Structure 1
Protein backbone atom coordinates (compact mmCIF):
# COMPACT_ATOMS: atom_id res chain seq x y z
CA UNK A 1 0.00 0.00 0.00
CA UNK A 2 1.51 3.31 -1.05
CA UNK A 3 1.77 6.14 1.43
CA UNK A 4 -0.23 9.29 0.74
CA UNK A 5 1.53 12.57 1.38
CA UNK A 6 -0.57 14.78 3.63
CA UNK A 7 -1.06 18.33 2.36
CA UNK A 8 -1.14 20.30 5.59
CA UNK A 9 -1.66 23.59 3.80
CA UNK A 10 -4.82 22.33 2.09
CA UNK A 11 -6.25 21.16 5.41
CA UNK A 12 -5.54 24.47 7.15
CA UNK A 13 -6.66 26.51 4.13
CA UNK A 14 -3.48 28.51 4.56
CA UNK A 15 -0.83 28.76 1.87
CA UNK A 16 2.62 29.48 3.28
CA UNK A 17 5.27 31.40 1.40
CA UNK A 18 5.20 34.64 -0.54
CA UNK A 19 1.42 35.36 -0.58
CA UNK A 20 0.88 35.46 3.23
CA UNK A 21 4.29 37.05 3.79
CA UNK A 22 3.44 39.91 1.44
CA UNK A 23 -0.01 40.23 3.01
CA UNK A 24 1.54 40.35 6.48
CA UNK A 25 3.99 43.09 5.50
CA UNK A 26 1.25 45.16 3.85
CA UNK A 27 -1.22 44.72 6.73
CA UNK A 28 0.69 46.80 9.27
CA UNK A 29 -0.68 50.34 9.35
CA UNK A 30 2.35 51.59 11.24
CA UNK A 31 4.64 50.18 8.52
CA UNK A 32 6.94 48.59 11.09
CA UNK A 33 6.93 45.33 9.12
CA UNK A 34 8.67 46.85 6.09
CA UNK A 35 11.79 44.81 6.85
CA UNK A 36 14.09 43.46 4.17
CA UNK A 37 17.52 41.91 3.79
CA UNK A 38 20.44 44.27 3.21
CA UNK A 39 22.85 41.74 1.72
CA UNK A 40 25.72 43.86 3.01
CA UNK A 41 28.32 41.23 2.11
CA UNK A 42 27.22 41.17 -1.53
CA UNK A 43 27.01 44.96 -1.68
CA UNK A 44 30.51 45.30 -0.24
CA UNK A 45 31.91 42.79 -2.71
CA UNK A 46 30.16 44.52 -5.60
CA UNK A 47 31.75 47.85 -4.64
CA UNK A 48 35.15 46.19 -4.34
CA UNK A 49 34.78 44.66 -7.80
CA UNK A 50 33.76 48.01 -9.26
CA UNK A 51 36.74 49.71 -7.64
CA UNK A 52 39.12 47.08 -8.98
CA UNK A 53 37.57 47.30 -12.44
CA UNK A 54 38.04 51.07 -12.44
CA UNK A 55 41.63 50.64 -11.28
CA UNK A 56 42.29 48.34 -14.25
CA UNK A 57 40.65 50.78 -16.65
CA UNK A 58 42.65 53.66 -15.22
CA UNK A 59 45.89 51.76 -15.78
CA UNK A 60 44.94 51.29 -19.43
CA UNK A 61 44.13 54.99 -19.70
CA UNK A 62 47.54 55.86 -18.26
CA UNK A 63 49.19 53.53 -20.77
CA UNK A 64 47.50 55.39 -23.64
CA UNK A 65 48.66 58.69 -22.14
CA UNK A 66 52.26 57.46 -22.05
CA UNK A 67 52.04 56.41 -25.70
CA UNK A 68 50.65 59.82 -26.66
CA UNK A 69 53.52 61.49 -24.82
CA UNK A 70 56.04 59.86 -27.17
CA UNK A 71 53.86 60.16 -30.29
CA UNK A 72 53.98 62.70 -33.12
CA UNK A 73 52.33 66.12 -33.02
CA UNK A 74 49.21 64.93 -34.83
CA UNK A 75 48.56 62.24 -32.23
CA UNK A 76 49.22 64.71 -29.42
CA UNK A 77 46.61 66.96 -31.00
CA UNK A 78 44.03 64.23 -30.40
CA UNK A 79 44.79 64.41 -26.68
CA UNK A 80 44.00 68.13 -26.52
CA UNK A 81 41.24 68.59 -29.10
CA UNK A 82 38.09 66.53 -28.75
CA UNK A 83 36.85 67.26 -32.29
CA UNK A 84 40.10 65.99 -33.82
CA UNK A 85 39.98 62.96 -31.55
CA UNK A 86 36.45 62.10 -32.73
CA UNK A 87 37.38 62.56 -36.38
CA UNK A 88 40.33 60.21 -36.00
CA UNK A 89 38.16 57.66 -34.21
CA UNK A 90 35.53 57.78 -36.97
CA UNK A 91 38.28 57.58 -39.60
CA UNK A 92 39.15 54.10 -38.32
CA UNK A 93 42.32 55.11 -36.49
CA UNK A 94 42.63 51.91 -34.47
CA UNK A 95 44.43 53.48 -31.52
CA UNK A 96 41.86 56.25 -31.22
CA UNK A 97 39.01 53.75 -31.64
CA UNK A 98 40.42 51.69 -28.76
CA UNK A 99 40.82 54.82 -26.69
CA UNK A 100 37.21 55.82 -27.39
CA UNK A 101 35.93 52.39 -26.36
CA UNK A 102 38.01 52.63 -23.20
CA UNK A 103 36.56 56.05 -22.40
CA UNK A 104 32.99 54.77 -22.84
CA UNK A 105 33.75 51.78 -20.61
CA UNK A 106 35.23 54.05 -17.93
CA UNK A 107 32.19 56.32 -18.12
CA UNK A 108 29.74 53.44 -17.68
CA UNK A 109 31.68 51.75 -14.90
CA UNK A 110 32.29 55.00 -13.04
CA UNK A 111 28.59 55.84 -13.21
CA UNK A 112 27.67 52.39 -11.94
CA UNK A 113 30.19 52.62 -9.10
CA UNK A 114 29.07 56.05 -7.95
CA UNK A 115 25.40 55.10 -8.12
CA UNK A 116 26.19 52.05 -6.00
CA UNK A 117 28.01 54.27 -3.50
CA UNK A 118 25.02 56.62 -3.29
CA UNK A 119 22.64 53.70 -2.84
CA UNK A 120 24.80 52.26 -0.06
CA UNK A 121 25.02 55.67 1.60
CA UNK A 122 21.23 55.96 1.55
CA UNK A 123 20.81 52.42 2.85
CA UNK A 124 23.35 53.01 5.62
CA UNK A 125 21.22 55.89 6.92
CA UNK A 126 18.18 53.63 7.32
CA UNK A 127 17.80 51.95 10.71
CA UNK A 128 17.79 48.29 11.57
CA UNK A 129 14.44 46.90 12.73
CA UNK A 130 13.68 46.71 16.40
CA UNK A 131 14.55 43.44 18.08
CA UNK A 132 10.87 42.81 18.77
CA UNK A 133 9.90 43.11 15.11
CA UNK A 134 12.83 40.95 14.05
CA UNK A 135 11.92 38.30 16.62
CA UNK A 136 8.29 38.34 15.49
CA UNK A 137 9.40 37.76 11.91
CA UNK A 138 11.02 34.47 12.95
CA UNK A 139 8.35 33.07 15.28
CA UNK A 140 5.56 30.77 14.16
CA UNK A 141 3.02 31.17 12.70
CA UNK A 142 4.78 33.91 10.77
CA UNK A 143 4.68 32.90 7.08
CA UNK A 144 8.22 31.84 6.23
CA UNK A 145 9.96 31.13 2.96
CA UNK A 146 11.77 27.97 1.97
CA UNK A 147 15.14 27.05 0.59
CA UNK A 148 17.97 29.52 1.09
CA UNK A 149 15.36 32.21 1.81
CA UNK A 150 14.48 30.53 5.11
CA UNK A 151 17.35 32.36 6.85
CA UNK A 152 16.68 35.82 5.43
CA UNK A 153 15.52 37.27 8.75
CA UNK A 154 17.99 35.55 11.07
CA UNK A 155 20.67 38.27 11.26
CA UNK A 156 19.23 41.54 12.59
CA UNK A 157 22.41 43.42 11.66
CA UNK A 158 21.80 42.59 7.99
CA UNK A 159 18.19 43.81 7.94
CA UNK A 160 16.81 47.23 7.10
CA UNK A 161 13.56 48.86 8.18
CA UNK A 162 12.20 51.11 5.44
CA UNK A 163 10.09 53.13 7.84
CA UNK A 164 12.37 55.59 9.58
CA UNK A 165 10.93 56.16 13.02
CA UNK A 166 11.35 59.44 14.78
CA UNK A 167 13.84 59.67 17.60
CA UNK A 168 11.85 57.98 20.34
CA UNK A 169 12.04 58.85 23.99
CA UNK A 170 12.93 56.24 26.57
CA UNK A 171 9.38 55.92 27.89
CA UNK A 172 8.01 55.13 24.43
CA UNK A 173 10.73 52.55 23.86
CA UNK A 174 9.95 50.98 27.24
CA UNK A 175 6.21 50.84 26.47
CA UNK A 176 6.80 49.25 23.06
CA UNK A 177 9.11 46.64 24.52
CA UNK A 178 7.33 45.71 27.75
CA UNK A 179 3.74 47.03 27.57
CA UNK A 180 2.82 46.30 23.95
CA UNK A 181 0.24 43.71 25.07
CA UNK A 182 -1.83 46.53 26.60
CA UNK A 183 -2.21 48.23 23.20
CA UNK A 184 -3.22 45.26 21.09
CA UNK A 185 -5.07 46.04 17.87
CA UNK A 186 -7.77 43.36 18.01
CA UNK A 187 -9.14 44.20 14.57
CA UNK A 188 -5.90 43.19 12.90
CA UNK A 189 -4.66 40.57 15.33
CA UNK A 190 -5.30 36.99 14.34
CA UNK A 191 -3.78 33.74 13.14
CA UNK A 192 -1.40 33.79 16.08
CA UNK A 193 -0.06 37.28 15.29
CA UNK A 194 -0.73 40.16 17.68
CA UNK A 195 -0.40 43.76 16.53
CA UNK A 196 0.42 46.61 18.90
CA UNK A 197 -0.66 50.02 17.68
CA UNK A 198 2.10 52.64 17.68
CA UNK A 199 -0.57 55.32 17.54
CA UNK A 200 -2.21 54.05 20.71
CA UNK A 201 1.16 53.89 22.46
CA UNK A 202 2.01 57.44 21.35
CA UNK A 203 -1.34 58.71 22.63
CA UNK A 204 -0.82 57.00 25.98
CA UNK A 205 2.70 58.41 26.33
CA UNK A 206 1.45 61.92 25.51
CA UNK A 207 -1.26 61.76 28.17
CA UNK A 208 1.02 60.14 30.74
CA UNK A 209 3.78 62.70 30.18
CA UNK A 210 1.30 65.56 30.51
CA UNK A 211 -0.13 64.07 33.71
CA UNK A 212 3.32 63.51 35.20
CA UNK A 213 4.48 67.04 34.38
CA UNK A 214 1.33 68.54 35.89
CA UNK A 215 1.63 66.30 38.96
CA UNK A 216 5.20 67.39 39.63
CA UNK A 217 4.39 71.06 39.12
CA UNK A 218 1.16 71.19 41.11
CA UNK A 219 2.50 68.83 43.75
CA UNK A 220 5.54 71.01 44.31
CA UNK A 221 3.40 74.15 44.63
CA UNK A 222 0.93 72.57 47.07
CA UNK A 223 3.57 70.90 49.24
CA UNK A 224 5.75 74.01 49.45
CA UNK A 225 2.68 76.08 50.31
CA UNK A 226 1.73 73.78 53.18
CA UNK A 227 5.23 73.39 54.64
CA UNK A 228 6.32 76.28 56.83
CA UNK A 229 9.76 75.17 57.92
CA UNK A 230 12.54 76.78 55.83
CA UNK A 231 14.74 73.71 56.22
CA UNK A 232 11.98 71.41 54.99
CA UNK A 233 11.26 73.74 52.10
CA UNK A 234 14.88 73.64 50.97
CA UNK A 235 14.87 69.86 51.16
CA UNK A 236 11.61 69.61 49.23
CA UNK A 237 12.86 72.01 46.56
CA UNK A 238 15.93 69.83 46.11
CA UNK A 239 13.75 66.69 46.01
CA UNK A 240 11.31 68.06 43.43
CA UNK A 241 14.16 69.43 41.33
CA UNK A 242 15.78 66.00 41.35
CA UNK A 243 12.47 64.33 40.45
CA UNK A 244 11.93 66.78 37.60
CA UNK A 245 15.44 66.30 36.23
CA UNK A 246 15.10 62.54 36.55
CA UNK A 247 11.74 62.47 34.75
CA UNK A 248 13.09 64.61 31.92
CA UNK A 249 16.26 62.54 31.63
CA UNK A 250 14.65 59.11 31.87
CA UNK A 251 11.32 59.65 30.14
CA UNK A 252 12.40 61.87 27.24
CA UNK A 253 15.19 61.96 24.68
CA UNK A 254 16.45 65.35 25.85
CA UNK A 255 20.15 66.02 25.46
CA UNK A 256 22.29 66.97 28.41
CA UNK A 257 22.32 70.66 27.48
CA UNK A 258 18.52 70.65 27.22
CA UNK A 259 18.27 68.79 30.52
CA UNK A 260 20.40 71.39 32.32
CA UNK A 261 18.41 74.24 30.75
CA UNK A 262 15.05 72.73 31.74
CA UNK A 263 16.23 72.06 35.30
CA UNK A 264 17.67 75.55 35.70
CA UNK A 265 14.43 77.11 34.48
Structure 2
Protein backbone atom coordinates (compact mmCIF):
# COMPACT_ATOMS: atom_id res chain seq x y z
CA UNK A 1 0.00 0.00 0.00
CA UNK A 2 2.85 2.39 0.82
CA UNK A 3 4.19 1.98 -2.73
CA UNK A 4 0.87 3.15 -4.19
CA UNK A 5 0.54 6.09 -1.77
CA UNK A 6 4.09 7.20 -2.56
CA UNK A 7 3.56 6.84 -6.32
CA UNK A 8 0.34 8.88 -6.21
CA UNK A 9 1.95 11.56 -4.06
CA UNK A 10 4.93 11.86 -6.43
CA UNK A 11 2.62 12.07 -9.43
CA UNK A 12 0.44 14.79 -7.88
CA UNK A 13 3.48 16.82 -6.82
CA UNK A 14 5.89 16.35 -9.73
CA UNK A 15 3.87 14.98 -12.65
CA UNK A 16 5.49 12.87 -15.35
CA UNK A 17 9.06 11.53 -15.01
CA UNK A 18 11.67 12.29 -17.74
CA UNK A 19 10.54 10.87 -21.07
CA UNK A 20 13.95 9.31 -21.72
CA UNK A 21 13.35 6.75 -18.97
CA UNK A 22 9.56 6.56 -19.14
CA UNK A 23 8.24 2.99 -19.66
CA UNK A 24 5.43 4.24 -21.91
CA UNK A 25 8.00 5.97 -24.13
CA UNK A 26 9.97 2.71 -24.28
CA UNK A 27 6.80 0.80 -25.22
CA UNK A 28 6.18 3.38 -27.92
CA UNK A 29 9.67 3.01 -29.38
CA UNK A 30 9.33 -0.78 -29.63
CA UNK A 31 5.92 -0.46 -31.29
CA UNK A 32 7.16 2.21 -33.72
CA UNK A 33 10.16 0.12 -34.80
CA UNK A 34 8.06 -2.99 -35.43
CA UNK A 35 5.37 -0.94 -37.20
CA UNK A 36 7.95 0.69 -39.46
CA UNK A 37 9.80 -2.55 -40.22
CA UNK A 38 6.73 -4.66 -41.01
CA UNK A 39 5.47 -4.37 -44.60
CA UNK A 40 1.73 -4.97 -44.82
CA UNK A 41 0.59 -8.14 -46.57
CA UNK A 42 -2.67 -10.09 -46.42
CA UNK A 43 -5.24 -9.50 -43.64
CA UNK A 44 -4.53 -12.76 -41.79
CA UNK A 45 -0.77 -12.27 -41.91
CA UNK A 46 -1.17 -8.66 -40.75
CA UNK A 47 -3.31 -9.84 -37.84
CA UNK A 48 -0.70 -12.44 -36.82
CA UNK A 49 2.00 -9.76 -37.07
CA UNK A 50 -0.10 -7.57 -34.76
CA UNK A 51 -0.33 -10.42 -32.24
CA UNK A 52 3.44 -10.88 -32.48
CA UNK A 53 4.03 -7.15 -31.92
CA UNK A 54 1.70 -7.20 -28.91
CA UNK A 55 3.50 -10.23 -27.47
CA UNK A 56 6.89 -8.51 -27.70
CA UNK A 57 5.66 -5.35 -25.97
CA UNK A 58 3.87 -7.31 -23.22
CA UNK A 59 6.96 -9.45 -22.65
CA UNK A 60 8.99 -6.28 -22.17
CA UNK A 61 6.34 -4.97 -19.74
CA UNK A 62 6.58 -8.21 -17.75
CA UNK A 63 10.36 -7.93 -17.70
CA UNK A 64 10.14 -4.40 -16.27
CA UNK A 65 7.70 -5.59 -13.58
CA UNK A 66 10.20 -8.23 -12.41
CA UNK A 67 13.14 -5.82 -12.10
CA UNK A 68 12.24 -4.60 -8.55
CA UNK A 69 12.13 -8.19 -7.30
CA UNK A 70 15.77 -8.66 -8.33
CA UNK A 71 17.00 -5.61 -6.41
CA UNK A 72 17.84 -5.22 -2.71
CA UNK A 73 16.07 -2.73 -0.43
CA UNK A 74 15.65 0.25 -0.81
CA UNK A 75 16.30 0.06 -4.55
CA UNK A 76 13.47 -2.42 -5.10
CA UNK A 77 11.04 0.00 -3.42
CA UNK A 78 12.29 3.01 -5.40
CA UNK A 79 12.15 1.24 -8.76
CA UNK A 80 8.68 -0.17 -8.09
CA UNK A 81 7.37 3.25 -7.10
CA UNK A 82 8.91 4.78 -10.23
CA UNK A 83 7.45 2.15 -12.56
CA UNK A 84 4.05 2.27 -10.85
CA UNK A 85 3.96 6.06 -10.98
CA UNK A 86 4.78 5.86 -14.70
CA UNK A 87 1.67 3.76 -15.34
CA UNK A 88 -0.76 6.57 -14.52
CA UNK A 89 -0.84 10.32 -15.19
CA UNK A 90 -3.05 12.28 -12.80
CA UNK A 91 -1.26 15.64 -12.87
CA UNK A 92 -0.14 15.40 -16.50
CA UNK A 93 -3.71 14.89 -17.72
CA UNK A 94 -4.90 17.87 -15.68
CA UNK A 95 -2.12 20.10 -17.02
CA UNK A 96 -2.65 19.12 -20.66
CA UNK A 97 -6.35 19.91 -20.50
CA UNK A 98 -5.74 23.08 -18.51
CA UNK A 99 -3.47 24.28 -21.33
CA UNK A 100 -6.45 24.24 -23.71
CA UNK A 101 -8.18 26.98 -21.70
CA UNK A 102 -7.16 30.11 -23.61
CA UNK A 103 -8.97 32.96 -25.30
CA UNK A 104 -6.98 32.75 -28.53
CA UNK A 105 -8.63 30.13 -30.74
CA UNK A 106 -5.46 29.23 -32.63
CA UNK A 107 -3.55 28.66 -29.40
CA UNK A 108 -6.40 26.54 -28.13
CA UNK A 109 -6.49 24.57 -31.38
CA UNK A 110 -2.77 23.79 -31.05
CA UNK A 111 -3.19 22.73 -27.40
CA UNK A 112 -6.20 20.51 -28.19
CA UNK A 113 -4.31 18.85 -31.07
CA UNK A 114 -1.82 17.53 -28.50
CA UNK A 115 -4.46 15.57 -26.57
CA UNK A 116 -6.81 14.23 -29.29
CA UNK A 117 -6.24 12.16 -32.43
CA UNK A 118 -8.91 13.87 -34.55
CA UNK A 119 -8.19 16.66 -37.03
CA UNK A 120 -8.81 19.95 -35.19
CA UNK A 121 -7.91 22.35 -38.00
CA UNK A 122 -11.53 23.11 -38.88
CA UNK A 123 -13.13 22.83 -35.43
CA UNK A 124 -14.93 25.89 -34.08
CA UNK A 125 -14.62 27.12 -30.50
CA UNK A 126 -17.43 24.93 -29.15
CA UNK A 127 -16.09 21.77 -30.79
CA UNK A 128 -12.60 22.56 -29.48
CA UNK A 129 -14.05 22.87 -25.97
CA UNK A 130 -15.91 19.62 -26.51
CA UNK A 131 -12.79 17.79 -27.69
CA UNK A 132 -10.86 18.97 -24.65
CA UNK A 133 -13.58 17.85 -22.23
CA UNK A 134 -14.03 14.52 -24.03
CA UNK A 135 -10.30 13.78 -23.80
CA UNK A 136 -10.31 14.58 -20.09
CA UNK A 137 -13.33 12.35 -19.43
CA UNK A 138 -12.09 9.38 -21.48
CA UNK A 139 -8.62 9.54 -19.99
CA UNK A 140 -10.00 9.31 -16.46
CA UNK A 141 -10.22 5.61 -17.33
CA UNK A 142 -7.03 5.21 -19.40
CA UNK A 143 -4.72 7.38 -17.31
CA UNK A 144 -6.03 6.86 -13.77
CA UNK A 145 -8.70 4.27 -13.00
CA UNK A 146 -7.58 1.34 -15.18
CA UNK A 147 -3.83 1.22 -14.32
CA UNK A 148 -4.53 1.53 -10.60
CA UNK A 149 -7.36 -1.02 -10.84
CA UNK A 150 -5.03 -3.57 -12.44
CA UNK A 151 -2.31 -2.76 -9.92
CA UNK A 152 -4.74 -3.66 -7.14
CA UNK A 153 -5.57 -6.95 -8.85
CA UNK A 154 -2.18 -8.09 -10.12
CA UNK A 155 0.46 -5.80 -8.68
CA UNK A 156 3.03 -3.93 -10.75
CA UNK A 157 2.79 -6.37 -13.67
CA UNK A 158 -0.92 -5.62 -13.97
CA UNK A 159 -0.36 -1.86 -14.17
CA UNK A 160 2.48 -2.15 -16.70
CA UNK A 161 0.72 -4.68 -18.91
CA UNK A 162 -2.37 -2.48 -18.99
CA UNK A 163 -0.24 0.55 -19.93
CA UNK A 164 1.51 -1.45 -22.65
CA UNK A 165 -1.80 -2.56 -24.17
CA UNK A 166 -3.18 0.96 -23.95
CA UNK A 167 -0.09 2.33 -25.71
CA UNK A 168 -0.46 -0.28 -28.46
CA UNK A 169 -4.08 0.72 -28.95
CA UNK A 170 -3.19 4.42 -29.06
CA UNK A 171 -0.51 3.85 -31.71
CA UNK A 172 -1.88 1.10 -33.97
CA UNK A 173 -5.50 0.55 -32.92
CA UNK A 174 -7.03 2.44 -35.84
CA UNK A 175 -9.52 1.34 -38.46
CA UNK A 176 -7.72 2.36 -41.63
CA UNK A 177 -5.83 0.65 -44.44
CA UNK A 178 -2.57 0.45 -42.50
CA UNK A 179 -3.86 -0.70 -39.12
CA UNK A 180 -7.22 -2.39 -39.74
CA UNK A 181 -5.79 -5.90 -39.22
CA UNK A 182 -2.34 -5.19 -37.73
CA UNK A 183 -3.90 -3.24 -34.87
CA UNK A 184 -7.05 -5.33 -34.39
CA UNK A 185 -5.72 -7.65 -31.67
CA UNK A 186 -4.32 -4.92 -29.35
CA UNK A 187 -7.43 -2.79 -29.96
CA UNK A 188 -9.77 -5.61 -28.90
CA UNK A 189 -7.50 -6.44 -25.95
CA UNK A 190 -7.68 -2.82 -24.86
CA UNK A 191 -11.49 -2.98 -25.08
CA UNK A 192 -11.52 -6.02 -22.81
CA UNK A 193 -9.18 -4.47 -20.24
CA UNK A 194 -11.14 -1.19 -20.15
CA UNK A 195 -14.58 -2.78 -19.81
CA UNK A 196 -14.71 -2.86 -15.99
CA UNK A 197 -12.67 0.34 -15.34
CA UNK A 198 -14.93 2.38 -17.64
CA UNK A 199 -17.98 1.23 -15.62
CA UNK A 200 -16.18 2.04 -12.38
CA UNK A 201 -15.72 5.58 -13.72
CA UNK A 202 -19.48 5.82 -14.23
CA UNK A 203 -20.03 5.00 -10.55
CA UNK A 204 -17.64 7.79 -9.58
CA UNK A 205 -19.75 10.34 -11.48
CA UNK A 206 -23.04 9.22 -9.92
CA UNK A 207 -22.81 11.31 -6.70
CA UNK A 208 -22.73 14.50 -8.81
CA UNK A 209 -26.12 13.95 -10.49
CA UNK A 210 -27.36 10.36 -10.04
CA UNK A 211 -30.48 10.35 -12.25
CA UNK A 212 -29.01 12.27 -15.18
CA UNK A 213 -25.67 10.45 -15.12
CA UNK A 214 -27.45 7.09 -15.17
CA UNK A 215 -29.75 8.22 -18.00
CA UNK A 216 -26.83 9.43 -20.13
CA UNK A 217 -24.89 6.25 -19.36
CA UNK A 218 -27.74 4.17 -20.81
CA UNK A 219 -27.62 6.36 -23.94
CA UNK A 220 -23.90 5.67 -24.40
CA UNK A 221 -24.10 2.91 -27.00
CA UNK A 222 -21.70 4.36 -29.56
CA UNK A 223 -18.52 2.66 -28.28
CA UNK A 224 -17.74 -0.27 -26.01
CA UNK A 225 -16.00 1.79 -23.33
CA UNK A 226 -14.78 5.24 -24.33
CA UNK A 227 -18.15 6.96 -24.53
CA UNK A 228 -19.22 5.97 -20.99
CA UNK A 229 -17.22 8.58 -19.01
CA UNK A 230 -17.85 11.12 -21.79
CA UNK A 231 -21.60 10.63 -21.40
CA UNK A 232 -21.28 11.11 -17.63
CA UNK A 233 -19.25 14.29 -18.03
CA UNK A 234 -21.84 15.63 -20.49
CA UNK A 235 -24.61 14.87 -18.00
CA UNK A 236 -22.89 16.62 -15.08
CA UNK A 237 -21.81 19.68 -17.07
CA UNK A 238 -25.11 19.96 -18.96
CA UNK A 239 -23.30 20.55 -22.29
CA UNK A 240 -23.27 18.66 -25.56
CA UNK A 241 -20.15 16.62 -26.27
CA UNK A 242 -19.66 15.43 -29.80
CA UNK A 243 -17.21 13.69 -32.05
CA UNK A 244 -18.63 14.07 -35.53
CA UNK A 245 -19.72 10.82 -37.16
CA UNK A 246 -19.02 8.97 -33.90
CA UNK A 247 -21.25 10.11 -31.01
CA UNK A 248 -23.15 13.06 -29.56
CA UNK A 249 -24.62 13.71 -26.11
CA UNK A 250 -27.12 16.56 -25.92
CA UNK A 251 -26.89 19.78 -23.92
CA UNK A 252 -26.07 23.46 -24.30
CA UNK A 253 -22.96 24.71 -26.10
CA UNK A 254 -19.71 23.90 -24.24
CA UNK A 255 -17.87 27.10 -23.30
CA UNK A 256 -14.33 27.69 -22.02
CA UNK A 257 -15.78 27.98 -18.53
CA UNK A 258 -17.08 24.44 -18.89
CA UNK A 259 -13.55 23.16 -19.50
CA UNK A 260 -12.60 24.72 -16.15
CA UNK A 261 -15.65 23.09 -14.52
CA UNK A 262 -14.69 19.76 -16.09
CA UNK A 263 -11.29 19.97 -14.39
CA UNK A 264 -12.98 20.44 -11.00
CA UNK A 265 -15.15 17.41 -11.74
CA UNK A 266 -11.98 15.50 -12.68
CA UNK A 267 -10.42 16.37 -9.31
CA UNK A 268 -13.55 15.20 -7.50
CA UNK A 269 -13.85 11.92 -9.44
CA UNK A 270 -10.16 11.04 -9.14
CA UNK A 271 -10.12 12.02 -5.47
CA UNK A 272 -13.16 9.84 -4.78
CA UNK A 273 -11.55 6.92 -6.60
CA UNK A 274 -8.27 7.23 -4.68
CA UNK A 275 -10.14 7.52 -1.39
CA UNK A 276 -12.03 4.33 -2.17
CA UNK A 277 -8.81 2.56 -3.20
CA UNK A 278 -6.90 3.52 -0.06
CA UNK A 279 -9.78 2.65 2.27
CA UNK A 280 -10.23 -0.71 0.52
CA UNK A 281 -6.52 -1.49 0.75
CA UNK A 282 -6.47 -0.51 4.44
CA UNK A 283 -9.43 -2.79 5.19
CA UNK A 284 -7.92 -5.72 3.27
CA UNK A 285 -4.53 -5.33 4.95
CA UNK A 286 -6.06 -5.26 8.42
CA UNK A 287 -8.37 -8.17 7.58
CA UNK A 288 -5.43 -10.32 6.50
CA UNK A 289 -3.53 -9.44 9.68
Check whether TM > 0.5: no
Bigger Rg, which one: 1
- Normalised by the size of structure 2, how large is the TM-score? 0.19
- Normalised by the size of structure 1, how large is the TM-score? 0.20
